[in-house]
Amino acid sequence: MKQASLLSPNWLFALAATAVATAFSIAPAAELPAAPLVKSRPITGAVAQDAYVLTNDFSAAEAQVKANPDDPEARFLLAVAYSRTPYVERALEQLDISRRLARKSKEGFALFDRKIAEYERTLRKDPDDKLVLYRLGFGYYMRGYAVANGYMKDPDNTPDAFYGKSEQTFRHLADIDPSDISTLNYLGFLVAEREPQKNYDAAVALWERSIQVNPENPGAYMLLGQAAMQKGNLRKAVEYSTQALKARNAWLEAHHINPATLKIRL
């Protein structure tokens, strides 16, 4: 049976639409050249598939998907790159696409065993490599999700074993860099995903902490809005999503990106 989830891309799309309809519309940012987003580098492994670049630049990750649209690994890496932007719904959507493609592929969800092994091997040389740790956290999450939802049999490991490793990895990242709001946002996502009703308050606390670190934090507001909507508090959901959209527009302007030409339509 598929695991219940507090968070989903469809709910986030609906939440954003509700905010726009009931609160305000965002004026497009000025037409400015796009600024490069953080770093990227290749990681080489034992097989050809490991040639993908690990990058926080969503444009580079999109290019890899355009070249390999049916590859679950490319979609996974795009999801992780989107998670570093205000586009939470796009990150969750791409994670879902990655899962669907993995189910259809010959390798299946063993893809994430391979990626986990690759990331762990890399971390032996540099245990605090944030670029790799962040993806390892998502890799553990995807592996746990596969077992939890019956897509992969694993008599030796429970889903919570992988979710626990994912949470531990994200918490280690938060210790390394307490200012990384993406780590706090998706740590909250993971906590909520493990046991939605039991861990609701803990997830909200992490998103509120993320906002304390950076009040201009679209992802945390969007996730808080999603959680409020799931709890039936529509007024609070609209308030959070309105703040999310305002903060998103500020992010676009700060990164010199025109939303009218932003290519996130894969």
* pLDDT tens, position by position, 8-66: 545 454 554 444 343 333 333 222 223 333 333 343 333 334 468 888 888 889 999 99
Structural domains in the chain, sorted by start: 9-254 (1.25.40.10)
pTM over the 0.75 mark: yes
Q: Which letter does DSSP use for residue 69 in this model? A: T
* pLDDT tens, position by position, 174-201: 999 999 999 999 999 999 888 777 888 9
pLDDT at res. 48: 36
What is the arithmetic mean of pLDDT over 200-226? Answer: 93
